[in-house]
Structures are given as C-alpha cells and as structure tokens.
Chains A and B, each alone.
Chain A
Amino acid sequence: MKITISQPELSRLASMAGNVVPNKSTLPILSTILLNASGEGLSLSATDLDLSIVIKADAEIESHGTVAIPAKRFSDIVRKLDSVDVVLEQKEGSLSISCGRAHFQISTMDAEDFPKLPGTQGVETFVAPSGTFKNMIRRTRFAVSQDLARPSMNGIFMELNSGNITMVATDGHRLSFYKKPEDLQLDNDYGVIIPSKALDQLMRLLPDDGDLEIGIGDNQSFFKTGDIHLFTRLIEGPFPNYQQVVPKGNSKTMSINKDALLVATDRVATLAASLTTRQIKLIIQKDQLALEVANSEIGKAREEIEAAYDEEEMMVGYNATYLLDVLKNMDCEEINFKLDRPDNAGIIEPAELEDGEEYFSLLMPLKLSD
C-alpha cells in the first residue's frame, strides 16, 4: 500500500476514528486503526466491537493494501506534521510516514486480526434530517441511566414510524421525552435502544444540516452521514413501559422564566453539590417560587423568583442536579411546571412548542426530610 493524502484531512480522519478506539482493551488489535486502500479509495476503520466507524476518504492511491496501525501513535504523529501532503507506505511489519523532510516508521499489527465489521445489507434504511436527529438526542440523553445493572436504560429509546420520531430516556428518577413529526419513508415501525457510546459519537459526528441515513437491523443499527458510517450494537429491550408512569393529571401549572429558574437553581444548588445529597426544595406560592437548600453541616440558601401560579401552595423537593439537567435542555424562554402532589412526578415542558411536537421532562421528587 502506498498513498498520498493531505495532512489536515488525514489528521481529521485519524482523530475521528481514534475516538472510537477503546482506551483500554484486552484485545490489542482494537487499539489500532485499520487503513485500507483499494479501488474504492481509502478507508479508515476502528471498533470496540460494540461500536464501529468506517470513514471513506479521498487519497491518491499508488498501490493497494491494508494495514492496522496503533491509533494513538498514528494520530499523534499525523497531528504534528506540517500541513502538506503525507505519504504513507506499507513496509514489512511497519508503516512509513513521510511528510516534507520528516520521516517516521512505526510498527503495525496484522490486519488479518482486525475484526470484521458489520455490513449494511438486509437492513431497512431511511433518511432523516441530521440536525433534527442530533437535537433530539441532545435534549433527551441527559436522562440516560448510568446504572449498568439496568442495561435497558443505558441508552435512548428511539421509536420510529412513518409519521414520527420519538426519543425517550430515563434512569428511573427522571425521564425525558421528545416526539417530533417527521415524514420518514418507513415500511415498519421500530423501537430500538441506542447505547450511550453511540449517542456520544453521533453528537460528535452529526452535522447540523443535511441528511442522515439510518439503517435498522435486528441487533445492529447504522448511521451514515457524508463519508462516515457508524455501526452500533443495539441494547436489548424491553425499554421500561414509560407511558404508564407519565402522569396525565398534573393540573397545577406554574409558568416561569426558564433562565431565571436555571440561574437561581444553579446558585442555590451550590450548597447541594455534595455526593450525598443534592436536595433542593421548591416552595411554590401564589406567583412566587422560592428555592431552598438547607444542609445541617454546610448551611442554608434561599432565593425567590417570580412565577405565574394560582393554585394551592405546595412544597416539593428535587435532586438539584436533575433539575438543572432538565432546565439546561429547555430551548425556550418560558416553561410550564406541572404538578399534582409533592410525592408525585412533576412535569416540566416548554411553554411553546411547534405543531405536533411534544417535549417534556419528568422528575421524581425527593421526599423532603422532615
């Protein structure tokens, strides 16, 4: 294999592929990037077995070949090269990298050992707007559970049918829900759980404009944008029956400026940042919300904010971090805080939504210590 490629392009590709390479692995081959030069052009691949990436690139190909190179070392070198053409040439057991008057020769691994990546055959594919998809992930993934003991919650549940995309995430303490009408050309309805790791990569790789091609198979899914293919294993369900737990009867609504609430919560929660408790108390009165944190060891904080509320007075506790997460992901000026009783779930949603759009976050209360 011998190819010539521009340094900025190679560096960009190497770092993109490098992001998928696992930090620690018992399989040494997984710490490499597979470079493949063929009649179809140059491709870079990396995988951790659950998540794989294949990037196609433009390069001047002199001779074909495949080589597995240590990812970290390769991208470190490439990044530091001058911004001119780089020549990569496969040698016996090594790869030479030449750029201007700089020459490197690094040991490679046997490309035969590199895992075979899943293909795109036999999966139904459809197209969705990349920006929409990315935004939906961004606004729901904060609720994804980190608790490995409940794998079905370790990702976003994505429901797809011909008319809508729905994304739901929950960790059992809070839930985020986003449904957007989208005309997808789909024959079947799908409900799949996309793991966190894939979500991270999607957030990184998806452009804000353009199309995203999505393919859904039995236990694999792929996402294609431009020259990038991302394959991910899907989490086996079932996803918890979330519809059942979303309360329908939260009739006491407080309207409040989102930024004011976010800023005040963040301020007051300074005293609720311990590992042990993050409890913040919301005291909701007529047209006023008071936030309180009281910690017998650390101290107390209280802040009042204007709010529109005309129901009975109520006091409810939440985990301050959870509340902040919710607020940070609200892209709006006003929010509605819908409550029922202090020990029931509270629902927070933007005051205004586009037609047919549904977005809300649900927070389970922290029972206040008496």
Chain B
Amino acid sequence: MRSAIRPLAPETINRIAAGEVVESPGSVLKELIENSLDAGATRIELEFAGGGINLLKLSDDGHGIPREELSEALERHSTSKIRELTDIEDTGTLGFRGEALAAIASVSLLEICSRVEEDDSAWAITSRGGTVEQVRPAARARGTSVTVRELFGDVPVRRKFLKSETAEKRRLQSLWHTYVLAWPELAFILREEGRELSHYPATTDMRERARQILGDTTARHMVEVDMESEGYRLTGLATLPLISRGNRSHQFLYLGRRPIADGSVSHAISQAYSEMLVPGRFPATVLFLETPPGLVDVNVHPAKREVRFRDSRRIHHIVNRGLKSAIHGEGDLGQLLARDSDLLLGAPRSGRAAEGDAQKEIFGRPVVDAPFTGGSGGGSPAHSSGHLPGGKPASPLNTRVGGSGLFMSLSTGEDAEEIANSSGVNVNDEQREERLFWQLHNTFILTQIRGGLVIIDQHNAHERVLFDEARAALDGEKMGCQRLLFPHTVELDANEMAAWQEQASLFSDLGFLIEEFGDHTLSVVGIPDSLRRWDDGQVIRDILDDVLAETGGITEKRDRALMSFACKSAIKAGEGMRDEEMRHLVDQLFGTGNPYTCPHGRPIVIRISMDELEKRFHRTVPEGN
C-alpha cells in the first residue's frame, strides 16, 4: 500500500535535524558553550554526569534571554544572531543557524533558566522531547543555565551510537579544553557530579592559559607566532622543536576563535617542523587564523567544525611561514635552547615522549630535581600583555619563552654567545694553551663553557652544517667538486635513470660531476669536495630514492635528498678528529640557522651546567643545612 506524501510534523523535523547537529554530549556542549560565548559570558561553568549523557548543565553569566523569547529559543531556526542570509558571511558570532537548541530539545529533557539584567527575576522553561511547557518563574543571577538530561533518552537508536560514558567524558573534556584555550579572558569551571575537576581563572595572558591546559613545560617552550599577509593573519603559540608529542592532540586551530580542523594546516605545521622533528613527532600549537571577509565558508556543516577556505594554498603558506619564522625568529632558538639547560638535559631522544611531565634523562638516568625547574611552577611569565587572540590589537603574546624562574640560577644570555662563538670558550690567558676541545670515543666533542660543559654529537653537527651548505648550494653558492682520477661507475635501473635525468642539475649543484655512460650506467668523474663516503655510489641511489619517493612536494623531496647527502657526507661516529677540525666544525655549526637539531630532528648539543655537575657530585649543600 502506498503511503501518502505529507509534510512532517515539526517534532519529526527537529529530530531529523538533531541527527546532524546533535550526535553526542560533546556536540551538545559545543552548541551550548557557543551560545554562552556569544552571550558575552565572563564565567562559564559546566557540570556533567554519566559522561554528559545523563546530565549536562552549562551555566554562564552572559546577557541572558528575556522571558518573552524563552519559548522561541526552542523553535527551529530561531536565532538572535542573524536576521538575513547575507549576515552569515560576516557573522562575528559562533552560532547562527538557529537550529541547535530546538534540535537538542527534541532529543532530551531540556531546561533553560535565564535572567536578563533588567528583569527582577529569572524565568525557566522546560521541554520534554520537544514538547515545550509553560514559562515559569525561577531564581538565579544574570545569565543563562541550560540543563540537558537524558540525552537521546527516547531515541534508543541514537543512544546506541553513543560511546561508553568514559569515552564520552573524554571527548567532552577535550572539547571543553579546546574552548578554554581560545578564551583565556573567561573563567571556566568544570564539575562532574558536583566534584570540581578543573577551575581555570580568567587571565589576560594567552601563555598562562596555555600553561593551564598544556602544562608548564610545553607552555614555557612555546614561542609566539604572528604573521600577517594580504589580509590573512596567523597568531598564537607554537612549541620549540625539542618539545614534541607522539600525535597531533596538542594542535589547536581556530578560525577567529572558532575551533576548526583543516588538513592543509596540519600539513603546513608538519612541514614547518619537518627538519627539526623526527617523523612521528608533532609540535604543540595553538593557532588563530583570521581571513579577509568573504574568503571562508563556515556554513559547510552544521557542526561548523570544517570550514572551506577559498584559497587553501595561501593558508598553507602563511601557517608554514608563520611557524618557521617564529621558531627561527631572530636567533631565538639558539639563544633560548643554549640557555635552557633544563631543556637540553631533558632533550627528547628521538621517538620518545617528551611532554612536559615526561621524565628527564641524562646518560639514560632520570634527572632528579633538575636544578633549574624550581620555582617555575605556577609563576606566570613576567611581561604579559593583555591581548587576547582573535582580537584586533597586535602582539598578543609578548612574553619571552621561559620567562618564569627557569633561568634564575643562570647568568642569562651570555652562555649562548659563548657557545656560538667557540673561541669565546672561557679561558683566561694562562689557560689559553690548554686544549679547548676533546673528542669522546671519537663520537662526541666536549668543550667547556663558562657555565659548564657542552657535548656535541659530531655526526649530527656535521650533518646540520652540510645540510645548510647543500641548501645554500641550490640557491647559488655551488659546492666544490673534487675531480677523480678513476671515475666511479654507478648502475641504475630505468626509474632511477629517469630520476637522474630529471634531477641532473641537483647533482651538479651539490658538486657531482656525472656523465651518462650507456643506458643504465653513470660515470662519476667528480664528487662533492665534502663527501666523505662514496660507499660504492650509495649516496647517488639514496638521493634518487628520495626524489623518486611518492610523497611530498618538490621542496620536501629536495630537502630529503639533501638530508641523504648530508648524512653520507658527514663525519661518522667513530672517526677521529683533529683539534682544528673540531674547532672549525663547532664554528660552522653555530653559524647555521639551527645548531640544536640535525636535519632529521635529532639533538646536536647537550649542555650540562656546573650547577648540575656540582649537584651530582653532592658539592652543593641543600638549602637549610
């Protein structure tokens, strides 16, 4: 029997819509919190129970909803935020579709209690499965509380799709943090079944908020990002490359202050760090994007998590450049890392967790009570500025990294220069004749600086030097080419041969002098001056492999090729070095853009301070004795 076509009942429409907007307690939270933010709240409080499925109550001190608008608030597509379609493009608020409350109401037991400034009392309204009851008087201060109980209570199909309470709780908290992070000027309180889980007081400083959420170590080692280009602007914080994580969970991206996810931004972040982090390690970033009006479409999906940029290449570019200039900015990296013995001592080994609380290690042992971390606990950085992300004024994050107590026992600043200028190794005239460099097990270079000892991994250091030189060679300053008496021959397969023909100029820029010799053979009549290991032509094949690899753009491929080249050319662990060579290497190293990590992201330099040594030898008497 054929069913007749009829318009759906409003409740049905809402329930269908709810499927798009409301899929979990997290999505309910998202809608509610955005309403609170749009309402100008300064304090937002969330209470939940049962992973947010049984209870989700969000209270704010925003401007509230007048009594007469309460019932309308529960109708679909009612909103105070836009009046006409064209308003969408320029919307400055987070929500605008006007379907959230109605949708939530249709699948739960929902109560709104609100009071506007002018009114003497608060008013409440309840909706059960979309059936709205009468507005009744209630009591509360200015603001709105929305209580959602029994989510999907009468929609068992959808309830089945919810994850366990624990999983929903985790999602809820992570979403909560996403907002908390973007709105440092608001206070956020989170409660579970009456117990306070977290309380983030309002702050004027983005870094302080980052510290609250991401931990002290991470926040301390974040640098400020600020890049502007043709109406686009990127601000925020990003970690220096010695702090990293095993996944992207500490990468936060906002459009304005709306949390978004964007593949090309993730890629741009990875690329900006590619030379400094080993694969599989990710920086922590908190980035705020602003785009010129009209160049982004946020109305792609009801949850507004994904947005569509008109020009995603430009976004990629500004993120990549913004991060690079932030982490390399004005020699910051060198200065900071050289000073930061805490970080260097606890420098992450490749592939190992390096998050703030991760155990610090030196020589494979945990560093107990690393001397320089004390006192930095809750201290907020010194030169905070009142700026908040998303707002207009410039220079939001005016603090220096590590502005807390980190350097208290160090003489600031000069150590970095000491390392950088290796002849500045602290010697007075009597000492000048002494050796300044020692080679340990033909692998590490040891040298003394005023504040202690610096250990340099000779291979990683040389790799960095060569990589930078090779890169410069591609930009003009060609590498020297040592001609050979007896040409080497290298046999290639057809793919490699094609890749060689395509990249012939890369090889010649690097200082190879190669002639084709039959269909599958290259005759190498000159090799780069700096190449130390010929390895039967392995370096040529490695470079070609890197060029042939499927992934990555031209620049990435070339960078990888240069890494192979640098690795093959660099002095190995186990090779002896003369004093002169060590001195030159150290000189050259500190002339590079990033003397602290090799192109693969491994650390190059470890600094051990005198204080640390004295402490280990129990030369320092603990305070109070």
Q: Which residues of A contact B (CB under 8 A)?
A: 147, 149-150, 170, 172-175, 240, 242, 245, 273-279, 296-298, 317, 319, 343, 345, 362, 364-370
Instruction: List chain A residues, Cβ under 8 A from B585.
Output: 274-275
A369, B479: Cβ atoms closer than 8 Å = yes
Given A147-B533, A275-B530; 5 other pairs, CB 8 A cutoff: A147-B534, A149-B535, A273-B580, A319-B482, A366-B481
Instruction: List chain B residues, Cβ under 8 A from A279.
Output: 480, 529
Instruction: List chain B residues, Cβ under 8 A from A369.
Output: 477-480
A245, B530: Cβ atoms closer than 8 Å = no
Q: B584 an interface residue at 8 Å Cβ cutoff?
A: yes
Cβ contact of B480, chosen from A147, A362, A366, cutoff 8 A: A366
Closest to B461 in A: A275
Cβ contact of A276, chosen from B469, B477, B534, B536, cutoff 8 A: B469
Closest to A342 in B: B483
Instruction: List chain A residues, Cβ under 8 A from B535.
Output: 149
Instruction: List chain B residues, Cβ under 8 A from A170.
Output: 485-486
User: How many angstroms between the C-alpha atoms of A170 and B484 in the bound complex?
Assistant: 11
Sample (10) of A-B pairs whose CB atoms are under 8 Å apart: A147-B534, A245-B485, A274-B585, A275-B530, A276-B529, A278-B529, A366-B481, A367-B481, A367-B513, A367-B526
User: How many angstroms between the C-alpha atoms of A316 and B558 in the bound complex?
Assistant: 31
A274, B584: Cβ atoms closer than 8 Å = yes
User: How many angstroms between the C-alpha atoms of A252 and B359 in the bound complex?
Assistant: 68
Contact mask B561-596 → A, CB, 8 Å, 1/0? 000000000010000010011001101100100000
Q: B269 an interface residue at 8 Å Cβ cutoff?
A: no
Closest to B529 in A: A277
Q: B466 an interface residue at 8 Å Cβ cutoff?
A: yes
Which residues of chain B from 454 to 510 have a CB within 8 Å of any chain A CB?
462, 465-466, 469, 477-486
A276, B466: Cβ atoms closer than 8 Å = yes
Known: A274-B581, A274-B588, A367-B513. A319 touches B529 (CB 8 A): yes
Known: A147-B534, A278-B529. A172 touches B484 (CB 8 A): yes
Q: Which residues of B contact A (CB under 8 A)?
A: 462, 465-466, 469, 477-486, 511, 513, 526, 529-530, 533-536, 571, 577, 580-581, 584-585, 587-588, 591
Instruction: List chain A residues, Cβ under 8 A from B511.
Output: 367
Instruction: List chain A residues, Cβ under 8 A from B529.
Output: 276-279, 319, 366
B484, A364: Cβ atoms closer than 8 Å = yes
Instruction: List chain B residues, Cβ under 8 A from A149.
Output: 533-536
A368, B480: Cβ atoms closer than 8 Å = yes
A175, B483: Cβ atoms closer than 8 Å = no
Known: A275-B462, A276-B588, A277-B530. A370 touches B483 (CB 8 A): no
B581, A365: Cβ atoms closer than 8 Å = no
User: How many angstroms between the C-alpha atoms of A298 and B586 in the bound complex?
Assistant: 12
User: How many angstroms between the C-alpha atoms of A150 and B527 in the bound complex?
Assistant: 16
User: How many angstroms between the C-alpha atoms of A353 and B479 in the bound complex?
Assistant: 38
User: How many angstroms between the C-alpha atoms of A68 and B237 in the bound complex?
Assistant: 68
Cβ contact of B588, chosen from A172, A242, A297, A317, cutoff 8 A: A297
- Nearest Cβ on chain A to B311's Cβ, whole angstroms: 38
B483, A367: Cβ atoms closer than 8 Å = yes
Closest to B583 in A: A273
B485, A343: Cβ atoms closer than 8 Å = no
Instruction: List chain A residues, Cβ under 8 A from B577.
Output: 275
A367, B485: Cβ atoms closer than 8 Å = no
B485, A275: Cβ atoms closer than 8 Å = no
Instruction: List chain A residues, Cβ under 8 A from B466.
Output: 276
User: How many angstroms between the C-alpha atoms of A278 and B513 in the bound complex?
Assistant: 18
Identify the 9 closest CB pairs spanning chains A and B, nearest first: A367-B481, A274-B584, A364-B483, A276-B530, A369-B478, A245-B485, A366-B480, A273-B580, A279-B480
User: How many angstroms between the C-alpha atoms of A273 and B462 in the bound complex?
Assistant: 14
- Nearest Cβ on chain B to A309's Cβ, whole angstroms: 22
User: How many angstroms between the C-alpha atoms of A345 and B481 in the bound complex?
Assistant: 13
B482, A240: Cβ atoms closer than 8 Å = no
User: How many angstroms between the C-alpha atoms of A273 and B586 in the bound complex?
Assistant: 13
Instruction: List chain B residues, Cβ under 8 A from A277.
Output: 479-480, 529-530
User: How many angstroms between the C-alpha atoms of A50 and B179 in the bound complex?
Assistant: 72
B480, A317: Cβ atoms closer than 8 Å = yes
Instruction: List chain B residues, Cβ under 8 A from A240.
Output: 485-486
Instruction: List chain B residues, Cβ under 8 A from A242.
Output: 485
Cβ contact of A273, chosen from B484, B513, B526, B584, cutoff 8 A: B584
User: How many angstroms between the C-alpha atoms of A119 and B519 in the bound complex?
Assistant: 51
Closest to A368 in B: B480
A275, B571: Cβ atoms closer than 8 Å = yes
Cβ contact of A175, chosen from B462, B481, B485, B587, cutoff 8 A: B485
- Nearest Cβ on chain B to A259's Cβ, whole angstroms: 22
Instruction: List chain A residues, Cβ under 8 A from B484.
Output: 172-173, 364
User: How many angstroms between the C-alpha atoms of A274 and B484 in the bound complex?
Assistant: 21
Instruction: List chain B residues, Cβ under 8 A from A174.
Output: 485
A173, B482: Cβ atoms closer than 8 Å = yes
Instruction: List chain A residues, Cβ under 8 A from B584.
Output: 273-275
Closest to A273 in B: B580
B530, A365: Cβ atoms closer than 8 Å = no
- Nearest Cβ on chain B to A245's Cβ, whole angstroms: 5
Closest to B578 in A: A273
- Nearest Cβ on chain A to B149's Cβ, whole angstroms: 69
User: How many angstroms between the C-alpha atoms of A369 and B530 in the bound complex?
Assistant: 13
Closest to A322 in B: B482
Instruction: List chain A residues, Cβ under 8 A from B587.
Output: 274, 297-298
User: How many angstroms between the C-alpha atoms of A170 and B485 in the bound complex?
Assistant: 9
User: How many angstroms between the C-alpha atoms of A170 and B462 in the bound complex?
Assistant: 27
Which among B478, B482, B577, B580 has the highest number of chain A CB atoms within 10 Å?
A: B482
- Nearest Cβ on chain A to B59's Cβ, whole angstroms: 62
A172, B480: Cβ atoms closer than 8 Å = no
B478, A370: Cβ atoms closer than 8 Å = yes
Cβ contact of B485, chosen from A273, A298, A364, cutoff 8 A: A364
- Nearest Cβ on chain A to B231's Cβ, whole angstroms: 38
Closest to A278 in B: B529
Which among A240, A276, A298, A362 has the highest number of chain B CB atoms within 10 Å?
A: A276
- Nearest Cβ on chain A to B579's Cβ, whole angstroms: 10
User: How many angstroms between the C-alpha atoms of A173 and B488 in the bound complex?
Assistant: 12
Instruction: List chain A residues, Cβ under 8 A from B526.
Output: 367
Instruction: List chain B residues, Cβ under 8 A from A368.
Output: 480
User: How many angstroms between the C-alpha atoms of A364 and B533 in the bound complex?
Assistant: 18
User: How many angstroms between the C-alpha atoms of A273 and B580 in the bound complex?
Assistant: 7
Instruction: List chain B residues, Cβ under 8 A from A173.
Output: 482-485
Closest to A367 in B: B481
Instruction: List chain A residues, Cβ under 8 A from B530.
Output: 275-277
Instruction: List chain A residues, Cβ under 8 A from B533.
Output: 147, 149
Closest to A276 in B: B530
Closest to A318 in B: B482
User: How many angstroms between the C-alpha atoms of A249 and B526 in the bound complex?
Assistant: 21
- Nearest Cβ on chain B to A147's Cβ, whole angstroms: 7
User: How many angstroms between the C-alpha atoms of A279 and B477 in the bound complex?
Assistant: 14
B483, A362: Cβ atoms closer than 8 Å = no
User: How many angstroms between the C-alpha atoms of A317 and B480 in the bound complex?
Assistant: 9
A172, B481: Cβ atoms closer than 8 Å = no
- Nearest Cβ on chain A to B509's Cβ, whole angstroms: 10
Instruction: List chain A residues, Cβ under 8 A from B486.
Output: 170, 172, 240, 245
User: How many angstroms between the C-alpha atoms of A276 and B531 in the bound complex?
Assistant: 8
Instruction: List chain A residues, Cβ under 8 A from B580.
Output: 273
User: How many angstroms between the C-alpha atoms of A245 and B486 in the bound complex?
Assistant: 8
User: How many angstroms between the C-alpha atoms of A319 and B526 in the bound complex?
Assistant: 13
B480, A297: Cβ atoms closer than 8 Å = no
- Nearest Cβ on chain A to B459's Cβ, whole angstroms: 11
User: How many angstroms between the C-alpha atoms of A175 and B486 in the bound complex?
Assistant: 11
B534, A345: Cβ atoms closer than 8 Å = no
Instruction: List chain B residues, Cβ under 8 A from A275.
Output: 462, 465, 530, 571, 577, 581, 584-585, 588
Instruction: List chain B residues, Cβ under 8 A from A364.
Output: 482-485
Instruction: List chain B residues, Cβ under 8 A from A367.
Output: 480-483, 511, 513, 526
User: How many angstroms between the C-alpha atoms of A343 and B577 in the bound complex?
Assistant: 30
B485, A172: Cβ atoms closer than 8 Å = yes
User: How many angstroms between the C-alpha atoms of A319 and B484 in the bound complex?
Assistant: 12
Which among B462, B479, B483, B534 has the highest number of chain A CB atoms within 10 Å?
A: B483
User: How many angstroms between the C-alpha atoms of A240 and B374 in the bound complex?
Assistant: 65
